[in-house]
Chains A and B, each alone.
Chain A
Amino acid sequence: MLEIKNVTKVFNPGTVNEKLALDNFSLTLEDGDFVTVIGGNGAGKSTMMNAIAGVWLVDSGQILIDGEDVTKLSEHKRAKFLGRVFQDPMTGTAATMGIEENLALAKRRGHRRTLRQGISRKEREEYRELLKILGLGLEDRLTSKVGLLSGGQRQALTLLMATMRKPKLLLLDEHTAALDPKTAQKVLETTEYIVNRDKLTTLMITHNMKDAIAHGNRLIMLNEGKVILDIRGEEKKKLTVEELLHKFGEASGEEFANDKAILG
């Protein structure tokens, strides 16, 4: 479903801030894979997401989604393949627009935007049903401005927007990191529900090792722009946090220096 072949990305080349963010990076996802991604700060997790999403173009290498080469496609052209939820709840929605307007924008992802009405009456009913899944009461607030919602509500809405038009690949970039633990749990449960229901191929970055182990069928760990651990199937099911930390030490030759990831 997703093939990343030998991708390299250097930020600020030729300056003192030069940073090799992705180092000859390769990763292949099978159809229906739910892959959790962990790694320390600066390991290249978000860079990998942005490379897939096309926020900027990579320096070398190739990215294929469902067999189609998207390496040179701009961000908005790749959008038809992708559902994205960001770390910052403000990023995924348009604050000054209503809940239904945001959903209507997402419903038209990958379609030509015409001069037909932005939202039809029929759609409103559909959105009401969709929002019920979240269990947040948003179905009764269709016209409310999204800016009035809490961070958790906005993330849940973004998740709905990312998945309402079934994406080839769902990209979750620490989408629960900015939420309080209870809300984070709820958003994660909804994520799990939707991914299972629609059998979505998913990449989920998380800073929480327990979550990384509890969700998905495969876990990868990044360090210095490379995949240093790739655990799947039965092996992943039996994995514990201690074991993961130990494996990290073996693979990278250093301590895992992120308290949040261990304690969280």
Chain B
Amino acid sequence: MNILNLLNAMPGAVAQGLIWGIMAIGIYITYRILDIADLTVDGSLCTGGAVCIMMMLSGHNVFVSMLAATLAGMATGLVTGVFHTFMGIPAILSGILTQLALYSINLKIMGKSNQAINVDKYDLLVSLRYIKNVVFYKNSILVVAVAIVLLVLVLYWFFGTEYGCGLRATGCNGNMARAQGINTDFAKVVGLMISNGLVGLSGAMLSQYQGFADINMGRGAIVIGLAAVIIGEAVFDRVFHNFGFKLIGVAFGSVLYYVVIQTVIWMGFDPDLLKLLSALVVAVFLAIPYWKQKYFRKPAVKKGGKDDA
């Protein structure tokens, strides 16, 4: 156990954590703001990656490819939203259906289960290779961090607008939102689209970073995202009250998650068991608010009309 090995792995863990952080911000929007556990992400992350890689392989510019990946992600959110609102399918099941359908679609986009892209031949925005020994403005950590700041600024602005406030009200209390004339079905669809757009963008960056898109790259993404949201809130909730900083906190949560994972691997933990570990950790953290409520009850902020939302 050489500490230098761990330190060497850290920049990579941070970069990867930041990229997943974009996805985690997307999950924050559905899970915390809309109060929906959206399982679409397990599929839409790969959709974003697949679209980005295939676009670049066919000669498109990296930014155009990433925009296309974002739009593809938004389309998957639209599908889940239509399943949920127009067809009346419970949100979780809607996400699972889209995710399953996306497995086929992702295979069709890529033509096979894995598509690699060569960092020497294509002009990538982020890559494993752009972590060390590279001019600072090409450093992937910096690039992704700047992207996150820009995205958070846009989201901060959006959720402060009249429409954004309506969307927050929809997630908080659907009855109230409808009584105030908000089309809650439409708001949910918009929220799912924004969320999955971010997930698609995250997938696009991730596939560039690792140099390939893979049909399994999104497996368990929702759990990683929830872990990031929970860690981010647990660590930064007392510090950050502003909505924008909360989103930054979620991205930090994702970085912490990857730093911990990297450390656990360095300590000799069997990598095959990592997903088991992640699932257990998230399960315990999800249980904590419930246990608190049940065993250490204090007057809490109550939510209204949640079941009908």
Distance (whole angstroms) from the CB of A11 to the closest CB of chain B = 16
Bound-complex Cα distance A105 to B301 (A)? 20
Q: Are A94 and B168 in contact, with the CB atoms below 8 A?
A: yes
Say what secondary structure dominates the interface of chain A. Answer: loop
Stretch at the interface among B21-29, B179-187, B273-281: B179-187
- The secondary-structure label for the interface of chain B is helix
29 A–B contacts, CB within 8 A, in A order: A53-B179, A76-B177, A76-B181, A79-B180, A79-B181, A80-B181, A82-B179, A86-B175, A88-B305, A92-B175, A92-B176, A94-B177, A94-B304, A95-B172, A95-B301, A95-B302, A96-B303, A104-B165, A105-B166, A108-B166, A110-B181, A114-B161, A115-B158, A116-B161, A117-B161, A117-B162, A118-B164, A119-B165, A161-B180
With A118-B161, A147-B301 known as contacts, the answer to whether A84 contacts B181 (CB < 8 A) is: no
B residues with CB within 8 A of A: 158, 160-166, 168-169, 172-173, 175-184, 301-305
A142 to chain B, nearest CB (A): 15
B175 touches A105 (CB 8 A): no
B169 touches A105 (CB 8 A): yes
B160 & A118 in contact (Cβ 8 Å cutoff): yes
CB contacts under 8 Å to B, within A102-151, are 104-106, 108-111, 113-119, 145, 147-148
CA distance A79 to B178 in the complex (A): 7
* Contacts between the two chains (Cβ within 8 Å), count: 111
User: Is A36 close to B, CB under 8 A?
Assistant: no
Contact A90 B304 (CB under 8 A): yes
**Complex-state Cα separation, A108 to B162, whole angstroms:** 8
Q: How large is the interface on A (under 10, 10 to 19, 20 to 34, 35 or more residues)?
A: 35 or more
* Other 6 A-B pairs with CB < 8 A, given A77-B181, A94-B168: A79-B178, A94-B173, A95-B303, A105-B177, A115-B163, A116-B161
Most A CB within 10 A of own CB, among B165, B180, B302: B180
Taking CB atoms, residues of chain B closer than 8 Å to A148 are: 301
Alpha-carbon gap, A114 to B162, bound state (A): 6
> Do residues A108 and B180 form an inter-chain contact, with CB atoms below 8 A?
yes
Q: Could you tell me which residues of chain A, from 12 to 65, have a CB within 8 Å of some CB in chain B?
A: 53
In the complex, A174 has a CB within 8 A of chain B? no
Kindly state the separation between the CA atoms of A106 and B304 in the bound complex, as whole angstroms. Answer: 16
Given A91-B175, A101-B165, A76 and B302 contact (CB-CB distance below 8 Å): no
Q: Are A90 and B302 in contact (CB under 8 A)?
A: yes
**Contact A109 to B160, CB < 8 A, known contacts A90-B305, A92-B304, A95-B302:** no
A92 B181 Cβ-Cβ under 8 A = no
CB of B163 to closest CB in A, whole Å:
5
In chain A, positions 58-74 with a C-beta closer than 8 Å to chain B are 74
Q: Which residues of A contact B302 (CB under 8 A)?
A: 90, 95, 147
User: How long is the Cα–Cα vector from A90 to B173 in the complex, in angstroms?
Assistant: 9
A113 near B162 (CB under 8 angstroms)?
A: yes
| The one of A80, A95, A108, A110 that contacts B304, using a Cβ cutoff of 8 Å | A95
Within 8 Å by CB of B301, from A77, A108, A117, A145, lies: A145
Complex Cα spacing A53 to B160, Å: 28
Q: Determine if A176 is an interface residue (Cβ-Cβ < 8 Å).
A: no
* Bound-state Cα–Cα, A106 to B180, Å: 6
Complex: chain B residue closest to A106, CB-CB: B180
Closest A-chain residue to B184, C-beta based?
Answer: A76
With a cutoff of 8 Å between Cβ atoms, the chain B residues found around residue A74 in the complex are: 183
List B contacts of A147 (CB < 8 A). Answer: 301-303
